[in-house]
Structure 1
Amino acid sequence: MFSFRQEHSVMIMKKSENMSCGNKSQEQDSSGNNEIEKTKICPMRTFVETQDPSSKEVEDLTLRRFLRARDLDLEKASGMLLKYLKWRRSFVPNGFISTSELKNEIQQKKMFLQGSDKKGRPLGVLLAGRHFQHKGGVDEFKRFIVYIFDKIFARMPPGEEKFIVIGDLEGWGYANFDIRAYLAALSLVQDYFPERLEKLFIVHAPYIFTAAWKIVYPFIDMKTRNKIVFVENKKLKSTLLEEIEESQLPETYGGQLPLIPIQDT
């Protein structure tokens, strides 16, 4: 049964569907001419602004990502966005995360950012065999993930929304299996940064990774599962070249770019 507040919120949402509003975004539309999606933007904006005035600063492309993440369900997408805004204010009160908050994570030298795919989407490389649990715990790891995302988003060309990641498991062993960290990263991707990941290439996956994968897999939603590609070693370069020009591919995978630690970008 709805509470009075919930019922009132739904009434506002339904009423806003008959209102018109201008486009708050100066960015290009990278989603094509999805007319149904476009009609949802105005009522969603009207509703979330009544619940959280700070959402006035949110661009239309962001609203569209949350709509797509919830299959254009206006109520679910609005709730998801409001939850994200509340979380962001609490988790990143200063508006950004500094490297001083990530001492243990950065020391592991496991995340790199350089180059882009054929559509201009930023390319990141994660060396998972360098990840180990540390005294900073899951909280520092989550801050590192948000730091990574913010770095990637800052490199995106106008109108672009997504990025590519190569997850390299060479040298990965049970000592690297940090289930709490993996699930935390997954939650951030799916709950707070929806429709950002274009594709995750998993390369050099050892046989023992199968056990870890079976534990994590049930927590991955279908949208995210469809973005994960396991690449065979013998087809590594050819598979990556389907998406990334050789000039933009890291040297370690047969390309021309050096790996650059994300904190140095």
Structure 2
Amino acid sequence: MESAQENNCMEENGVEKKRLGLLRVKVDQEDPGAKGLDDLMLRRFLRARDLNVEKAASLLLRYLKWRRSFVPRGFISEDEIRNEIAKEKMFLQGVDKKERPIMVALGVRHTYYDRDLEEFKRYLVYGIDKICASMKEGQEKFVVIGDLEGWGYANCDFRAHLAAVEMMQDYYPERLAKVYLLHAPYIFWTAWKLVYPFIDSNTRKKIVFVENKRLKETLLEDIDEGQLPERYGGKLPLVPIYK
């Protein structure tokens, strides 16, 4: 049995390696600027499209075009996201038991009436790029704790929520390991029903709604107490992502 499983794994790895090579050739032909991309990035886009070379190439080429346009200097500066930074709604500290960095997002600090959508998108890129840069060698994914305590009508922002979903799926595929959603109030489910159809099946499997009575217990299944934020029963203070 083990031998058969090992053979299947080897065959799958062989197929992926072959298609990775085909993807590199195709993307390099379409976009000479792609020649500097490493195999890890190409593999993420390939896996995001179930090893379909054509679909993966289309997604990757679209990403490269977007990146040059949206992040022309290669990074988002804090001067470009002053309004978002001032709200201190995104934090980065600690890792889970698989050494994946943890991002904490406080939903109540995002309000639709005083946000600029383009600045919000830049803020997302700033945060995701920063958490990806913090990863240890060999690690490619991160974990999100989305805290919805106090979330209400003022925090319901369909365009911003959809922008976040699309950005993760289209421009950062295979980066998200798991999302824990905490303290989801009744009103949140109305917004969730609107956004849910836009979330692909692979991403849906990574979303976990945590019961209040099992909050710490659930988080400790994947995160050591010493790496868990204090507000959830751990030992780490929240550190704003810009620090």
Q: What is the TM-score of this pair, normalised by structure 2?
A: 0.94
In structure 2, distance between residues paired with 1:130 and 1:65: 31
**Are residues 1:164 and 2:143 paired?**
yes
**Are residues 1:186 and 2:129 paired?**
no
**Are residues 1:38 and 2:21 paired?**
no
Greater per-residue helix proportion = 2
Of 86, 101, 110 in structure 2, the residue corresponding to residue 107 of structure 1 is 86
The residue identity in structure 2 corresponding to 1:170 is E
Q: Per the alignment, in what secondary structure is the counterpart of residue 242 of structure 2?
A: helix
Q: Which residue of 1 aligns with 2:130?
A: 151
Q: Per the alignment, in what secondary structure is the counterpart of residue 263 of structure 1?
A: coil
User: After superposition, what is the alpha-carbon deviation per residue over 1:207-259, rounded to whole angstroms, capped at 9, x for unaligned?
Assistant: 11111111111111101101100000011001101110100000000101000
CA drift at 1:35: 2.2
In structure 1, distance between residues paired with 2:168 and 2:215: 25
CA drift at 1:74: 0.4
In structure 1, distance between residues paired with 2:104 and 2:43: 27
In structure 2, distance between residues paired with 1:132 and 1:36: 46
Moved over 6 A (4+): none
Work out whether residues 80 and 191 of structure 1, in 8 Å CA contact, stay in contact via their aligned partners in 2. Answer: yes
CA drift at 1:198: 0.3
CA drift at 1:134: 5.1
User: After superposition, what is the alpha-carbon deviation per residue over 1:117-145, rounded to whole angstroms, capped at 9, x for unaligned?
Assistant: 00111001000011012555110010000
Of 219, 235, 238 in structure 2, the residue corresponding to residue 240 of structure 1 is 219
In structure 2, distance between residues paired with 1:150 and 1:251: 25
Q: Per the alignment, in what secondary structure is the counterpart of residue 160 of structure 1?
A: coil
In structure 2, distance between residues paired with 1:229 and 1:136: 27
**Are residues 1:62 and 2:75 paired?**
no
Of 226, 246, 251 in structure 1, the residue corresponding to residue 205 of structure 2 is 226
Q: Per the alignment, in what secondary structure is the counterpart of residue 67 of structure 1?
A: helix
In structure 2, distance between residues paired with 1:37 and 1:129: 42
Q: Per the alignment, in what secondary structure is the counterpart of residue 37 of structure 1?
A: helix
Q: Per the alignment, in what secondary structure is the counterpart of residue 184 of structure 2?
A: coil
Tell me the C-alpha RMSD between the 2 structures. 1.3
In structure 1, distance between residues paired with 2:14 and 2:44: 15
Q: Which residue of 1 aligns with 2:60?
A: 81
**Are residues 1:196 and 2:175 paired?**
yes
Q: What is the TM-score of this pair, normalised by structure 1?
A: 0.86
In structure 2, distance between residues paired with 1:46 and 1:163: 29
Q: Per the alignment, in what secondary structure is the counterpart of residue 162 of structure 2?
A: helix
In structure 2, distance between residues paired with 1:110 and 1:232: 22
In structure 1, distance between residues paired with 2:88 and 2:111: 11
The residue identity in structure 1 corresponding to 2:193 is K
In structure 2, distance between residues paired with 1:250 and 1:136: 27
CA drift at 1:34: 2.3
Structure 1 residue ranges without an equivalent (≥5): 1-30
Q: Which residue of 2 aligns with 1:253?
A: 232
Work out whether residues 84 and 123 of structure 2, in 8 Å CA contact, stay in contact via their aligned partners in 1. Answer: yes
Structure 2 residue ranges without an equivalent (≥5): 1-8
**Are residues 1:133 and 2:139 paired?**
no
